[in-house]
Amino acid sequence: MPTLARKLRATDYFTLGWGTMVGVGWLVIMDDWLTRGGALGTVLGFVIGGALLFPIGWVYGKLVIAMPDAAGEIAYTSAVFPRSVSFATGWMMTLAYFIVCPWEAVAVGRIAAYIFPALDSMPMYAVAGRPVFLPRLIVGLALTALLTYLNYRGVRLSATFQNWTSFGTLALFVLFVLLGVSRGSAHNFAPLFTHTPLISILLVIQIVPYFMTGFESVGKAAEEANPQFRARTFLTAIWMAILIGILFYASIVAAVAFVAPWRSLTSTRFMTAVAFQQALGSRWIVNIILAAALLSLFKCFNGNFVAASRLFFALGRRGMIAPRVGAIHARNQTPSTAVLCVGAATGICMLLGDAILVPITEVGSVACAIGWAATCAAFLAMAFGAKTRDALAGKAIATVGLVVAIGLVLMKVVPIVPGHFTISEWIALAIWILLGAAAALMK
């Protein structure tokens, strides 16, 4: 039987985890973030929300070391829970990764249209009052086709692409932030909070799971580590991805609020770029920001594509959905059928256009938090009878992770909590659950 190619190194796992986590939300919907929490509330929301993920990251690191399986959460929960629980967990985590792919494919057309305004032409139809333009759709479909090809051909090709785009993004990010803040002012931070401090921070923490999802993608490629790879490096890569992710998000929010009076820019498109342009009075800084955004988009799209296709592949290999989805290409040693399915589904979802951007953020947050909760619960079940000091410490950390994950879910589904699901998010989640039920029945 063919197996997945074993070609990934430590650097590849870091860029997979961090690159999958950080996309272009910092450019595309920065106005939504700052409107939720204000300057300080948004920074604190990402710092606190990100820090709460360290216990979950620790659990994932330990489980990846013990079970280096592309199935990820499916494998962890299968060890202690019924098959139905394992399938439900895997299906929700597949949503958490897959849902980012059309998000990024739509976002690339939106960014490209900012550079080339002619792309905002030839509207075909509208979804939720937002037109879908043919040129932008073509750009997104072209990028989807490229990443599908890279992942179909081989994981080494995909990892090299991920490395270049990840480190390129970091370099450009440092450059434009340092240039921008030299012209800013602390007076621009006002208002620090858009609601009461607690509500402001809470509204931001609610979306942190979506924008911090990705560190656990390290486990989805665990079977593809090269033979010399040291297993404990999995945990290091996960924690580094979380730490750099927190620093990135907190820094970019603080920088945008520092360089220009952000409140007056919330109605503008790509307020991050506009804020820096106002600070420096020049268009060239916008070009640097857009270049960083495009690189970030490519790596995030690719990272989530890798994770979604591996989970989809694992569901097929375990017979939870059509077994042919679990096929491995004999020459390329890639999950070729799963890769093609994810690529095709991304193209179909793109037809919804810009209307999917904010609802996807909300649904993705809940989907990944459900997966995190199930993983922490599986760890606790495995360690139930252990009494050693290390085991007790591990159970305490996993318990904190479980409480955090459940809290993140409840913040979105309990109606009395500000920022809870609207009908759009419930419909999107219900559609995915129905698709999962159909896939399981038709296998």
Residue 173 belongs to a domain: yes
Residue 357's pLDDT band, with cuts at 50, 70 and 90, is low
Residue 32 belongs to a domain: yes
Domain span holding position 223: 10-93+155-299+370-441
Instruction: For the chain, give the longest Cα–Cα distance.
Output: 66
Q: What angle do CA 304, 248, 73 make, to 5 degrees?
A: 35
Residue 204 belongs to a domain: yes
Return mean pLDDT, the chain.
Answer: 89
Residue 129 belongs to a domain: no
Residue 31 belongs to a domain: yes
- CA–CA dist 43, 59 (Å, integer): 26
Residue 150 belongs to a domain: no
C-alpha dihedral sign at 67, 70, 73, 77:
negative
What's the pLDDT tens digit per position in 405-438? 999 899 888 888 877 788 888 888 888 899 989 9
- CA–CA dist 31, 262 (Å, integer): 8
Number of domains, the chain: 1
Beta bridge partners, 132, equal 125
Q: Is residue 289 a contact partner of residue 276, using CB atoms and an 8 Å limit?
A: yes
Q: Find how far residue 353's CA is from the centre of its chain.
A: 19
Instruction: Give the 3-state secondary structure of residue 8.
Output: strand
Residue 18 belongs to a domain: yes
What's the pLDDT tens digit per position in 224-283? 999 888 888 999 999 999 999 999 999 999 999 999 898 888 888 888 988 998 888 888
Residue 264 belongs to a domain: yes
Tell me the whole-structure pTM to 2 decimals. 0.89
CATH of the domain at 57: 1.20.1740.10
Residue 81 φ then ψ, to 5°: -115, 165
